[in-house]
């Protein structure tokens, strides 16, 4: 009986939504929008700005499910402007990060966006890490990262007086900025050029409005939310934490899946901020999927320590007790997650313990700045990484784009994976997407 009631209610909701869409389609033609961009994070806003600059006569809209822009990954990251030495040469990450670095600084200066080019030290603590410093230098050189320098042990204190280590890599072009401010600036540019932004508009599906066919025989795609249907010729999704769900709506494969990892930060007490004036990072361990905890000054004067990496029980789970049943069920059914957990069982357990007992995380940080104590820090904010994972439990390390199937899906481009350094790369990614849309959709 209960199942029949749920089915009946679901059908009734679908009929009501279809009625709204039909009603709107009679008052709007397919020319209502040329392109709708789903997602008001930095990739969506940067791309909207780029496309409307290229095609000022196009009618373009951004739809965002929250009541403001940059509410998730864009507004919860560390605020680092990355230089590009970590990434595999010739990968999209490497190319777009280095290009995006230059474009970002030019944009900050032109638009008076507060930022600081404070640099980054990647610090080795043992012989194995010293070898990887040299490898990072070679990789960064191949990626054309500007002005990288090897720093010997006796010279580390010249770059960060309180820092200790055996050898380091110095990246003077690494900086800090509030990426949420940058995102909103992109959106303001977009608005000034005639773009529109709809808030509180969570996309729940796409449908073909066959009655909107004209002489061109190009029917509208209806971008559907609970309270609105927006007709458009083409769609770009930049859904971040919900990217895979949006892709599946247009016939794409369910993989790669988005698995949410929460990154928690500690906050250095105000009277101890002098301990760190530049970004201080560990040498990445190739056996582990994430970079490890580091020191990050912020443009507002704060110093963040972290992040860790723990599985979140909600795609928007910024705290341990943020639990979404639907998200948990999806995780429980995904075989890739079990394979990942098996592969990184011990490191994962350590991350959970350090999350609960944060003084243990301070011990990792003391390797770099011994003067730091657990009394010098308190719990800070957290973000959630939208990490794409394949069915074998391997983290997808590069940017991923996908196109759906059928009459609707063939006109929808999905940005399915945009991990760090996506913010730094945003203007370069926007150019790449705009080029792809120009080519594939004949803008």
74: left (phi over 0), alpha (psi -120 to 50) or beta: alpha
Span 102-155, pLDDT tens digits:
999 999 999 999 999 999 999 999 999 999 999 999 999 999 999 999 999 999
Q: Is residue 211 part of a domain?
A: yes
Token couple for 411? 């006109």
At 103 the pLDDT is 98
Q: Is residue 242 part of a domain?
A: yes
Question: Residues of the chain whose pLDDT is less than 70?
Answer: 1-31, 210-217
For 366, what's the count of Cα atoms within 13 Å in the CB-facing half-sphere?
A: 14
Question: Which residues fall within 8 angstroms of residue 167, CB to CB, at 6 or more apart?
Answer: 123, 124, 129, 130, 133, 150, 151, 152, 153
Radius of gyration of the chain (CA): 23
Q: Quick one: which of 103, 244, 275, 115 has its CA closest to 181?
A: 115
Partners of 294 in the beta sheet? 306
- Please, are residues 334 and 244 in contact by the beta-carbon 8 Å criterion? no
Q: Is residue 361 part of a domain?
A: no
Q: State how far the Cα of 106 lies from the Cα of 362, in Å rounded to an integer.
A: 36
Angle between helices 92-110 and 179-192 (to 10 degrees): 70
Q: Is residue 204 part of a domain?
A: yes
Q: Quick one: which of 127, 126, 107, 123 has its CA closest to 115?
A: 107
Domain count, the chain: 1
At 25 the pLDDT is 41
Residue 47 sits in a domain whose CATH number is: 3.50.50.60
At 288 the pLDDT is 81
Partners of 389 in the beta sheet? 257, 395
DSSP assigned state of 391: T
User: 145-154 — which CB contacts under 8 Å span 24+ positions?
Assistant: 145/83, 145/84, 145/85, 145/98, 145/171, 145/173, 146/83, 146/101, 146/172, 146/173, 147/171, 147/172, 147/173, 148/83, 148/85, 151/121
Q: Is residue 378 part of a domain?
A: no
- Please, are residues 193 and 183 in contact by the beta-carbon 8 Å criterion? no
DSSP assigned state of 233: S
- The whole domain housing 248 covers 32-72+181-256+399-441
At 345 the pLDDT is 95
Q: Is residue 42 part of a domain?
A: yes
Which residue do the tokens 């290229």 mark? 54
Q: Is residue 40 part of a domain?
A: yes
Q: Is residue 36 part of a domain?
A: yes
**In sequence order, what E strands does 56-97 have?**
60-63, 80-81
């Amino acid at each position: 009986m209960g199942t029949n009631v749920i089915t009946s209610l679901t059908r009734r909701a679908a009929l009501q939504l279809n009625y709204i869409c039909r009603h709107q389609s009679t008052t709007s033609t397919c020319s209502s929008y040329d392109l709708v961009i789903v997602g008001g994070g930095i990739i969506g806003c940067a791309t909207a700005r780029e496309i409307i600059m290229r095609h000022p006569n196009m009618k373009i809209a951004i739809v965002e499910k929250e009541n403001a822009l940059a509410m998730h990954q864009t507004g919860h990251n560390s605020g680092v402007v990355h230089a590009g030495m970590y990434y595999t040469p010739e990968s999209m990450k490497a190319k777009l990060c280095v290009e995006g670095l230059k474009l970002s600084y030019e944009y900050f200066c032109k638009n008076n966006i507060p930022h600081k080019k404070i640099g980054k030290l990647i610090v080795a603590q043992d012989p194995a890490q010293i070898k990887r410093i040299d490898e990072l230098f070679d990789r960064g050189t191949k990626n054309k990262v500007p002005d990288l320098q090897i720093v010997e042990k006796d010279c580390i204190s010249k770059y960060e007086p309180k820092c200790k280590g055996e050898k380091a890599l110095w990246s003077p072009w690494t900086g800090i900025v509030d990426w949420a401010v940058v995102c909103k600036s992109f959106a303001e540019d977009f608005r000034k050029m005639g773009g529109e932004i709809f808030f509180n508009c969570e996309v729940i599906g796409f449908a073909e409005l066959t009655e909107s066919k004209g002489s061109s025989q190009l029917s509208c795609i209806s971008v559907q939310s609970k309270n609105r249907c927006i007709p458009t010729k083409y769609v770009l999704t930049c859904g971040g934490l919900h990217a895979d769900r949006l892709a599946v709506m247009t016939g794409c494969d369910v993989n790669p899946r988005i698995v949410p990892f929460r990154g928690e930060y500690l906050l250095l007490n105000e009277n101890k901020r002098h301990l760190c004036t530049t970004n201080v990072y560990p040498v990445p361990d190739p056996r582990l999927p994430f970079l490890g905890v580091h020191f990050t000054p912020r443009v507002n004067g704060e110093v963040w320590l972290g992040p860790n990496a723990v599985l979140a029980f909600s795609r928007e789970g910024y705290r341990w007790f943020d639990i979404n049943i639907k998200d948990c069920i999806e995780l429980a059914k995904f075989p890739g997650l079990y394979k990942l957990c098996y592969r990184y069982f011990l490191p994962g357990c350590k991350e959970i313990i350090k999350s609960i007992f944060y003084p243990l995380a301070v011990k990792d940080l003391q390797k770099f700045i011994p003067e730091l104590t657990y009394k010098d820090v308190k719990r800070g904010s957290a973000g959630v990484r939208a990490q794409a994972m394949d069915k074998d439990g391997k983290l997808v390390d590069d940017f991923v784009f996908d196109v759906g199937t059928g009459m609707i899906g063939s006109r929808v481009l999905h940005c399915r994976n945009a991990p760090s350094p996506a913010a730094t790369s945003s203007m370069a990614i926007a150019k790449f997407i705009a080029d792809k849309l120009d080519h594939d959709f004949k803008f």
